[in-house]
Amino acid sequence: MKASSNMTQIALETATQDRFSAHVDAALLDRLASRVTKVGVRDPLMIQMPFTGDALGTVPACLAEDVRAAAGLARSAQRAWATRPVRERVAMFLRFHDLLLDRQEEILDIIQLESGKARRHAVEELFDAAMVARYYAATVEDLLKPKRRQGAFPVVTEAWEHHLPKGVAGFIVPWNYPLTLGITDAIPALLAGNAVLIKPDSQTPYSTLWAVDLLEEAGVPGELMQVVTGSGAALGQPIIDCVDYLMFTGSTRTGRIVARQAAERLIDYSMELGGKNAMIVLDDADVDRTVAGAVVACFSNAGQLCVSMERMYVQSGVYDAFVRGFVDKTRALRLGAALDYSADMGSLISESQLRTVECDVEDAVAKGARVLAGGHARPDLGPYFFEPTILENVDEGMRLFAEETFGPVVSIYRVESVDEAIELANASPYGLNFSVWSRDTGRAHEIATRLQAGTVNVNEGYAAAWASVDAPMGGVKESGVGRRHGDGGLLKYTEAQTVAIQHRVPLFAPSYLSQGSFVSVVVFALRLLRHLPGIK
């Protein structure tokens, strides 16, 4: 699985130059870093290039007072933004959509340089951001327009549902998808009339800063979008103290802490957390198609993907053929650091992530797991590269059996029946994204409804559900709270308000009618309404 020499040389050469690629240089990164909100001189936070371990640039290590200042600026800007006609907001986000596609090479380079992923996985973020901007620009007017609701009594009572912006929405963003998670949750919040306060991960701030810069170019007021950079431990609590809603994407362990802190303020939140996602391959699956899909499902972004597969349950009828094909295709993957589409898989993000993957694999092998493919770090390619790895004979005594590795490692199991596969897939505290493979999509759909996961893909690993932005996306059990995408992905950033108007006839006994007579009239009316068509 050695990459060609030019694949690794690209990143090694750029680290010594002011220009990191044809589209990204130190001046651009410095300008983006200047967008970070701070009220004084701050220590620099060094951003590393995972491809080489060399410095990419620095951003300020913000403090709690910077968060408070950012929230204040955002809140002031939000008041005017909320009064802007929705159609004006829509026009800005459609311009953002077009600018994003026009400037794709620039952002793809930035994503790769700060995250280490292959370009074919970076481009998924570009597509996602464009699709989300287009979708919510197309739906926001209908979602926010006042809706007539049935009143207490027909004719005499009318009720209206309004959706008002919450104010300032906060976003604590992970490193694995710095453009997607840095901006696509904020897009519906902004369109709904809110300001946003975003804290990108301290390892990958530039993609978020670039997106915010592009939104301002598209017409969104810059003061409306505040970005602070630094560690989550230092800035998480101050952010929660200042915002009116919180969207968090990260580990389940950290999510519990964030939930407690948000509960103290009684602010609403949504979270996408950890997963130990399962793929089920039925006896009637198309083996070649399933093998190709499994490689993508397990090793996209070097497995550093919350919805990627880490467990596979394959029925006996196709197990041997599937494993042979899967191992062969996995061994053929090209690893590399090229800023083009020549690599199939890139690097892990950091030494810490590499060590986690190494320790999980070493622990499993020491306890009896068998390596079918991969299993080793690749320092010849870069400091944090690790081979895509397939393991057999993994059992509950091993660390990676039940816990998320978040790397290019998958465990494969032979099962005899569909019921056994479903039971094993559901035997997890996590339920984010599962996958079912079968020629019979109707049968696969029925199986999907028996799986305890927020999303299930049939004959696909993760992209079909994720890219269906009209449908909700999120986890169950310990994999999250709330949803992104769909109607709820925008309405969660609003407060639902009911305005009820009472006409002439009162809802309480008038002075000219005794209480007993009034009760009799209401009882008669309720009995009548029970039989009228169209009355709920």
Catalytic residue among 114, 124, 223, 272: 272
- Only one residue has tokens 């690893």, namely 335
Instruction: Return all residues near 145 (Cβ < 8 A) that are at least 6 apart.
Output: none
Identify the H or E element spanning 434.
strand 433-437
Has 272 been annotated as catalytic? yes
Sign of the torsion angle spanned by Cα atoms 27, 29, 32, 36: negative
Tell me how far apart the alpha carbons of residues 145 and 161 are, in angstroms, rounded to a whole number. Answer: 9
Query: Quick check: 296 and 289 in contact, CB under 8 A?
Result: no
Tell me how far apart the alpha carbons of residues 250 and 479 are, in angstroms, rounded to a whole number. Answer: 10
Tell me how far apart the alpha carbons of residues 426 and 252 are, in angstroms, rounded to a whole number. Answer: 18
Catalytic residue among 306, 310, 404, 478: 306
Q: Which two tokens stand for residue 487?
A: 């109607």
Q: Smallest Cα–Cα separation from 354: which of 278, 298, 302?
A: 302
CA 226 centroid distance within chain = 20
From start to end of 356-408, where are the E strands?
370-373, 389-392
Which string of DSSP letters, residue by residue, matches 78-105? HHHHTTS-HHHHHHHHHHHHHHHHHTHH
Query: Quick check: 303 and 409 in contact, CB under 8 A?
Result: yes
Q: What is the DSSP letter of 345?
A: B
Has 306 been annotated as catalytic? yes
Sign of the torsion angle spanned by Cα atoms 398, 401, 406, 411: positive
Query: Quick check: 1 and 335 in contact, CB under 8 A?
Result: yes
Q: Smallest Cα–Cα separation from 521: which of 149, 159, 156?
A: 156
Q: What is the set of active-site residues?
A: 272, 306
